[in-house]
């Protein structure tokens, strides 16, 4: 595993930016913006973004389980069945306590195949293909490594690294600093512990929690409802902390010539940090990379898609 601290400057040409749950859409309009290098950031790079949508929440175990079990009937295969959060049991049946935990113990391969399954089940065109065939087997790692993402399709997918950072840093008036937890707008007088209001990290959690509850007092006897905690300035939850989130990109030197990352590599990018001390760097500009076959109880993801219709 590698971790690198990076700052991405974005010229965002998206005309619409969305955050959604599986049931409802929230719309955000972006403006042309340029992020200046500042503080301790190590690099400044510009990438152009097309309109896209990204989930308000990390993928919950209940949604993962529902789509996985339906997809297996359709012929999909998943190397790892997933588990609810960091304390759940693999392939557990969702219940009142675990349904809104983020899914964990899945690989990057499982995540992209699941995105294809969600797309097919919801009548969308899957994004991930190899030799013009839709990926349906996460154990076929060679095909997954060589697969292409058809960004023009309307199916669900992982966010690109630039999309992820855009969602993590977007504010009502521009962008927050990359050297802070998502949700913290730079102010000289902000309290040192303000990051705990927006993220379940190693300083305030030793396990995953219900998605969208960061900032609430944790009570193991009372499971909080999703979205009752604090969102970032774009209305999106857990962009820092809880679980580390997969992105599409191969890990490589960040540049402006490849908007969706390098064409090949050895490890895939993950962003956002987690509750775990193994991924304790939770700032918007922090980059991690892992072998796409690795699974841990602090790995998760959120879904995205290309926005094809104005909202």
User: What pLDDT sits at residue 171?
Assistant: 87
- Please tell me the distance from the alpha carbon of residue 285 to that of residue 8, in angstroms, as a whole number: 7
Residue 40's pLDDT band (cuts 50, 70, 90): very low
pLDDT digits (tens, 9 = 90+) for 79-126: 999 999 999 999 999 999 999 999 999 999 999 999 999 999 999 999
The residue among 242 and 9 whose pLDDT is bigger is 242
**Burial class, 131, CB count within 10 angstroms (exposed 0-12 / middle 13-18 / buried 19+):** exposed
Q: End-to-end alpha-carbon separation of the chain, Å?
A: 39
User: What pLDDT sits at residue 213?
Assistant: 96
**Strand extents, DSSP E, 177-309:** 244-250, 268-271, 286-290, 299-300, 304-306
Residue 296's pLDDT band (cuts 50, 70, 90): very high
Dihedral sign computed on CA atoms, order 122, 126, 132, 135: negative
Quote the distance between the C-alpha of residue 70 and its chain's center. 23
Residue 311's pLDDT band (cuts 50, 70, 90): very low
User: In this prediction, what percent of the chain has a pLDDT beyond 90?
Assistant: 66
Q: Report which listed range, 178-182, 240-244, 307-311, is most confident.
A: 240-244
């Amino acid at each position: 595993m590698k971790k690198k601290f990076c700052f991405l400057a974005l010229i965002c040409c998206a005309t619409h930016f969305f955050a959604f749950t599986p049931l409802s859409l929230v719309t955000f309009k972006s403006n042309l913006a340029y992020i200046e290098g500042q503080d301790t950031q190590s690099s400044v790079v510009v990438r152009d973004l097309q309109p896209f949508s990204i989930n308000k929440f990390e993928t919950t175990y209940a949604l993962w389980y529902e789509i996985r079990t339906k997809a297996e009937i359709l012929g999909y295969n998943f190397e790892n069945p997933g588990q609810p959060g960091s304390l759940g049991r693999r392939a557990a049946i969702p219940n009142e306590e675990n349904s809104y935990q983020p899914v964990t113990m899945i690989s990057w391969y499982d995540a992209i195949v699941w995105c294809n399954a969600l797309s097919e089940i919801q009548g969308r065109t899957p994004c991930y293909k190899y030799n013009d065939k839709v990926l349906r087997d996460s154990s076929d790692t060679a095909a997954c490594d060589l697969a292409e993402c058809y960004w023009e399709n309307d199916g669900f997918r992982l966010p690109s690294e630039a999309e992820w950072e855009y969602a993590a840093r977007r504010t009502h008036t521009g962008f927050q600093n990359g050297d802070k937890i998502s949700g913290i707008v730079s102010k000289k007088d902000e309290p040192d512990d303000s990051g705990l209001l927006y993220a379940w990290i190693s300083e305030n959690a030793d396990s995953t929690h219900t998605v969208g509850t960061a900032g609430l007092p944790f009570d193991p006897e009372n499971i909080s409802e999703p979205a009752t905690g604090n969102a970032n300035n774009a209305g999106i939850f857990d962009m820092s902390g809880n679980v580390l989130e997969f992105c599409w990109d191969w890990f490589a030197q960040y540049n402006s010539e490849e908007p969706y990352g390098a064409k090949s590599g050895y490890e895939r990018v993950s962003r956002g940090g987690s509750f775990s001390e193994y991924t304790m760097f939770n700032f918007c500009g922090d980059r991690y990379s892992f072998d796409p076959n690795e699974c841990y109880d602090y790995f998760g993801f959120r879904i995205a898609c290309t926005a094809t219709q104005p909202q």
